[in-house]
Structure 1
Amino acid sequence: VSVDLALYNASFRQCEQTSFSFYCAVRERLPVWLLEDMRGMEVFSWEDGHPRAFLPSEALLYALVHDHQDYARHLLDTYSVSALRAPRCSFCCRRSSGAPHLSVAVRYDRVAILGMMAAALKHGDSLTDYLESRGGCSHVADAGKTAVQLAVELSRPDCLLLLLAHGARPASLDAALQRLVSCEEAERSRAQRCLDFLLLFLPEPAAPRRLQDEPRRWQSLLGHQVFSWLCGLAPPPLLLQALRCLARSGPDQISTLPDFLQPHRLLRLDGEM
């Protein structure tokens, strides 16, 4: 028994060592072919008392953390949707629920890889369901949150625009308003962009209570016309409607506009007219 236990412990430690080696290799952004050779030949993980190779979905998490875009593209092109399956949680040893890759992409602001993930799912119900997935395990910081909620909380406007343009529900307007007035000055512009992107995709005005409680404050922040629209007192501003059409045709249509045509400038200007 002692011999078997010693072999078990030795195998477990070997898995830890090779797993860290693979982590370092992805961090150094080694060539894709070398990483895939390592993943296929080495034993990296420990599951149900036995060593096994890393799954493509586990390798994709490493690629996301270290922004190895070539490796992420290879994994998504080769394994498609299976590369986005939730791997087993290393903390509670259960199969994770939700969409951990989505949460990691937003948390680390990996816009390029997030776009690849959306492309791998194409369009339709599978993409919409994936974008609306919530964080799984209760011990994870993002548990119960959608990617849109996370993007608003972390002020990730580029991620948020991509999610909304691919069909994610424009929720968390109240959180976006709160973020705008509570964040640090250095983050204010990103929080403002998140709010404006939500407004571009909001189907109907739904004024949070905070707008009615402090109308003067929010009119000065949002502009009179946007404030009136959110409160159901006026139709959406013309500039907002024009930007909506542009945004819904693809995230690149907004992100490539020059700065003076960005929503955070035009919507404030429209409110002053």
Structure 2
Amino acid sequence: MPWLLSSQVECLSSSPSQRQCERTAFSLYCAVRERLPVWLLEDMRCMEVFSWEDGHPRAFLPSEALLYALVHDHQDYARYLLDKYSVSALRAPRCSFCCCRGGGAPHLAVAVRYDRMAILSMMVEALKDCDSSSWRQDYLDSYSGCSHAADAGKSAVQLAVELSRPDCLLLLLVHGAYPAGLDAALQRLVSSDMADRRHAQRCLDFLLLFLPKPAAPHCLRDEPQRWQSLLGNEVFSWLCGLAPPPLLLQALRCLARSGPDQISALPNFLQPHSWQ
């Protein structure tokens, strides 16, 4: 539990061996935070640092080290772990809080929450090494496996929408994540202050680029005049199933699927918001 102070660890741990494991785990956390060289971090992880599991110490897993690299944006260490261990570095580690085996895609959630675009890009590229396309799709769309986690029950895409992380959202969608969270995106659009509204608008725009035939959200049916004014007549009519998608949206869909840089490089009058 590297987020605990040493005094707290001693209160929570039941044996000297477990306390020693937690101290060494905290030392690795601090070493990653200080951006120490990759070779030194790997020496620590493989030979000096231990986690406590089922009454016995064990070496730290690459997936656990990757979570530390994400939190502290140690891009060199993240690149090393993903290059050497590929998708195994993305496996959900065992939860140290509830001792469950974990599940979902905690690395994607942490990358989105901390807005670690560089490492998120490395991770989605590493997913291409997976032999199973179904596993890759399940991973991109999975939810947190632990009910106590802050982001439990949310996919990385939903979290990106809720936190208004448009760059993270576009990267995930381009690599095949399902465009969930339309209702949340609409609510963020009206609840955000002026400083965040631009990001919320871009998140909504990117979702619309990747949505299959949408079902009209309840809010559109409940307040049609308000949403028609906010979204524009063409987008509103499409979301309500009354018209085909706008022509510009259809054209940009093909461009968006070719890579996130393609949309960002467009001039302002061709950006997604211009169809409204």
Q: Normalising by structure 1, what TM-score?
A: 0.90
Paired residue secondary structure (1:140)? coil
Kept in 2: contact 1:118–1:127 (CA 8 A): no
2:120 and 2:49 map into 1 onto residues whose CA distance is 28
- Structure 2 residues without counterparts, runs of 5 or longer: 1-13
Kept in 2: contact 1:57–1:84 (CA 8 A): yes
Map of 1:44 onto structure 2:
50
1:158 and 1:240 map into 2 onto residues whose CA distance is 19
Kept in 2: contact 1:100–1:135 (CA 8 A): yes
Map 1:86-235; keep pairs closer than 5 Å. 86-122=92-128, 124-235=133-244
1:29 and 1:258 map into 2 onto residues whose CA distance is 38
Structure 1 residue 259, shift from structure 2 partner: 4.3
2:268 and 2:48 map into 1 onto residues whose CA distance is 49
2:37 and 2:267 map into 1 onto residues whose CA distance is 35
Paired residue secondary structure (2:92)? coil
- AA at the equivalent of 1:139: H
What is the percent sequence identity of the aligned residues?
81
- Comparing 80-89 with 36-45, which one deviates more in the overlay? 36-45
Give runs of ≥4 in structure 1 deviating > 6 Å: none
1:86 and 1:74 map into 2 onto residues whose CA distance is 18
2:41 and 2:195 map into 1 onto residues whose CA distance is 38
Kept in 2: contact 1:43–1:51 (CA 8 A): no
2:231 and 2:46 map into 1 onto residues whose CA distance is 54
- Structure 1 residues without counterparts, runs of 5 or longer: 1-7, 269-273
1:66 and 1:260 map into 2 onto residues whose CA distance is 37
Matched, 1:65 2:74: no
Distance 1:259 1:15, change over 3 A: farther
Kept in 1: contact 2:102–2:146 (CA 8 A): yes
Map 1:8-23; keep pairs closer than 5 Å. 9-23=15-29
1:248 and 1:217 map into 2 onto residues whose CA distance is 31
Paired residue secondary structure (1:52)? strand
Structure 1 residue 161, shift from structure 2 partner: 0.7
Q: Normalising by structure 2, what TM-score?
A: 0.89
Structure 1 residue 228, shift from structure 2 partner: 1.4
Structure 1 residue 168, shift from structure 2 partner: 1.1
Structure 1 residue 43, shift from structure 2 partner: 2.5
Paired residue secondary structure (1:67)? coil
- AA at the equivalent of 2:89: A
- AA at the equivalent of 2:181: S
Kept in 1: contact 2:157–2:169 (CA 8 A): yes
Q: Deviations for 1:179-210, whole angstroms, at most 9, x for unmatched residues?
A: 11112322111111110000001111321121
Paired residue secondary structure (1:257)? coil
2:34 and 2:50 map into 1 onto residues whose CA distance is 18
Map of 1:249 onto structure 2:
258
Kept in 1: contact 2:22–2:51 (CA 8 A): yes
Q: Report the count of equivalent residues.
A: 260
- Comparing 88-97 with 10-19, which one deviates more in the overlay? 10-19
Map of 1:267 onto structure 2:
275
2:143 and 2:96 map into 1 onto residues whose CA distance is 18
- AA at the equivalent of 2:146: C
- AA at the equivalent of 2:265: T
Map of 2:8 onto structure 1:
none
Kept in 1: contact 2:92–2:104 (CA 8 A): yes
